[in-house]
Structure 1
Amino acid sequence: MKTVACIVQDGFAPFEFGVACEAFGLDRTDDGVPNFDFRVVTAVPGKVVSKVGFSINVDDDLSFAYEADLVVVCPIPREWWGATDPRVLDVVRDAAARGAWLLSVCSGSFVLAEAGVLDGRRATTHWKYADEMIAMFPRIDVDPEVLFVQDGRTITSAGTAAGLDACLHLLRQEIGAELTNRVARRMVVPPQRDGGQAQFIDRPLPVAQSDALLTVTEWAMGNLRDELTVDQLASRAHMSPRTFARRFKAEHGATPAAWLSRQRIVRAQRLLERSDLGLDEIATECGFGSAAVLRQNFARVLGTTPTAYRAKFACARSESSV
């Protein structure tokens, strides 16, 4: 992926627009991160007004988007859902047809839906708008409880900050876990959040992880090679297994087992990038036990093999650690 087009229209949301600029538009070559040819585009170049009153001046029309490796679609105002500029819809359809990456942030998924590229596929949007998307586009399998969905080379994200999760997810596939961690570190955000929108629906947001769980997760991260059970983790937190599992999911949005599986995958990615260890050694180090189990988990989570992943991203191990 070398070229990125970010489509904005009148009424765009500044934060979601900023997410795309932050993820793909900044020069981070000093951190060893490849630079993208990033351009903001619109149907009619000139002033584009945000939904909070200020405007930006966009010089490029949609021509660049027809050749971009990634097309990012920012949200549009609710009153325009189902009435998107046909020129934008043509760009979206073209990107899908030629196999380019498509990524929508928040309600930008309504643009993809109107273009028809989500028909018969799984997608998401902000949980507040999920029912409306289901009603407007019944051919889409809408999942309102996840932070983002990847279906092929199309990624739809949930509300606001979930767009950043989606961008980092895409970067992991294009530049690897190690370099994506550097991007996340510069942003001062976690490289990967567990869980989904269910954490945020009609419930207060937890302010911070409890000390008991923080101690346990830090210990687990240092002992991923061992067989870890909920009973063991609960014991270290001085809780019953049932209470521990309930509190863990409430704070992390995932079960302890799902969280451990994800941490092991991330650890394996980094070892594949930064070491010459064999697959059996990496599987042991990450707690998968065997190369066969490692391969199964890679295929399930990342849609690729450890060998293919290493072939694509092994150069990252020559960079200095973060």
Structure 2
Amino acid sequence: MHKVGFIVEPGFQILSLSAQAVFEYANKVAGEPFYQISLYSLEGGSVASSLGFGVDTQPLGTRDVQADTWIVTGVNDPLNLPASPQTLVFLQRVSGQTRRLAAICTGAYFLAQAGLLDGRRATTHWALADIMQQQFPKIAVDANRIYISDGHIWTSAGMTAGLDMALAMVEKDLGNDVARSVAHKLVMNQKRAGGQSQHSQMLALSPKSDRIQSALDYARNHLRQPLTVDDLAAAVHLSPRQFSRIFKEETGKTPAKGIELLRLEAARLMIEKSRHSLDVVARETGFRDRRHMREVFVRSFGLSPQLLRQQARAEPIAG
């Protein structure tokens, strides 16, 4: 039996607990209770979440509390809601005794406060990454990772990335077939490698009307072709002038920039998920050539397509 202990502090973000479902379904797929999941807090009893309602927990205070994997949940604002000193002492004590010590999202800030990330690579929510790096310069913070496993310590990015991290743990424990089946049963979009970017370029485009969304869908389905404003306007029955004005009003981007973001997103996904050469990726996503694609990647991501592929394929270090 592999014991997994989730640690919550008052005001914890409830989405952190969604990772428990990965271990629950791993038991179902394995056909036996491989994981035993428990919820802990410093003193035990009911602990209020950020939404206000409480969850029942067991106390950490007793010396005989043990788990094979400890997972620290996150809070919405760790800068104003730090972990209690007693919890930090507990984390320091169990770090050398447990197989894995992990943190979901801003929970990494608590591991940093405990000094457990010094000299290690770690990730956290993108909004906190720069602050954590400044306050804890001994940590190599990488905000472009979904999760990182450095030795026996694991960290994940935003709250939903905790599911990806938990799934990677299941794969280490029970193998790829079980992990893939769990992902399928939980209707997870994909089993994402740790190196995937936290950001989607499509977040930069949020059209308000079906007409502009249709234009984006048209562009996405014709990325290999040279796409002009005339093409997109004709696809949604607008004049080029009307289309350009409405597109800018709804997305804050010019049509040319919008198309570039679509190409960038499609190329990123192909690089992360496929083994196609970069020349093929550039051609399939509508860049002029491989060099042009590299220029756009460096300008947008701060790294080349080659480096992005290396990061996406990098396997987490076994905990």
With the length of structure 1 as denominator, give the TM-score of the two structures.
Answer: 0.66
Aligned to 1:24: 23
Structure 1 position 129, deviation (Å): 1.1
Aligned to 2:118: 119
Inter-CA distance 238–197: structure 2 relative to 1 (3 Å threshold): closer
C-alpha distance in 2 between matches for 1:252 and 1:212: 24
Inter-CA distance 94–204: structure 2 relative to 1 (3 Å threshold): farther
Q: Which runs of no fewer than 5 residues in structure 2 stay unpaired?
A: 208-215, 224-264
Aligned to 1:310: none
Residue 240 of structure 1: which of 288, 291, 294 is its match?
Answer: 288
C-alpha distance in 2 between matches for 1:200 and 1:64: 47
Inter-CA distance 25–65: structure 2 relative to 1 (3 Å threshold): farther
For 1:196, give the aligned amino acid: S
RMSD between aligned residues:
4.2
Q: State whether residues 16 and 104 of structure 2, in contact with CA within 8 Å, keep that contact through their aligned partners in structure 1.
A: yes
C-alpha distance in 2 between matches for 1:76 and 1:238: 41
Q: State whether residues 75 and 81 of structure 2, in contact with CA within 8 Å, keep that contact through their aligned partners in structure 1.
A: no
Inter-CA distance 59–217: structure 2 relative to 1 (3 Å threshold): closer
Aligned to 2:244: none
Aligned to 2:192: 192
Query: Does residue 1:38 correspond to 2:37, yes or no?
Result: yes
Deviation larger for 199-208 or 65-74 = 199-208
Aligned to 1:110: 109
C-alpha distance in 1 between matches for 2:271 and 2:129: 35
C-alpha distance after superposition, 1:52-96 (max 9, x if no partner): 121122245454984211000001353666842233223311232
Structure 1 position 3, deviation (Å): 0.8
Aligned to 1:13: 13
C-alpha distance after superposition, 1:7-62 (max 9, x if no partner): 012101011122x2212245643454763011011111211101112112224545
1:155 is paired with a residue whose SS is strand
C-alpha distance in 2 between matches for 1:217 and 1:80: 33
C-alpha distance in 1 between matches for 2:199 and 2:221: 23
Aligned to 1:275: none
2:315 is paired with a residue whose SS is helix
Structure 1 position 124, deviation (Å): 1.6
Q: State whether residues 65 and 91 of structure 1, in contact with CA within 8 Å, keep that contact through their aligned partners in structure 2.
A: no
Structure 1 position 199, deviation (Å): 3.9
C-alpha distance in 1 between matches for 2:79 and 2:288: 51
Aligned to 2:163: 164
C-alpha distance in 1 between matches for 2:299 and 2:58: 46
Structure 1 position 122, deviation (Å): 1.6
With the length of structure 2 as denominator, give the TM-score of the two structures.
Answer: 0.66
Structure 1 position 125, deviation (Å): 1.3
C-alpha distance in 1 between matches for 2:76 and 2:309: 39
Structure 1 position 182, deviation (Å): 0.9
Q: How does 1:190-269 map to 2 (within 5 A)?
A: 190-193=190-193, 195-199=196-200, 203-204=204-205, 210-211=220-221, 228-236=276-284, 239-242=287-290
C-alpha distance in 2 between matches for 1:258 and 1:38: 37
C-alpha distance in 1 between matches for 2:186 and 2:302: 22
Deviation larger for 126-135 or 46-55 = 126-135
C-alpha distance in 2 between matches for 1:118 and 1:234: 38
State percent identity of aligned pairs: 26
Q: Which runs of no fewer than 5 residues in structure 1 stay unpaired?
A: 266-299, 305-322
C-alpha distance in 2 between matches for 1:31 and 1:249: 43
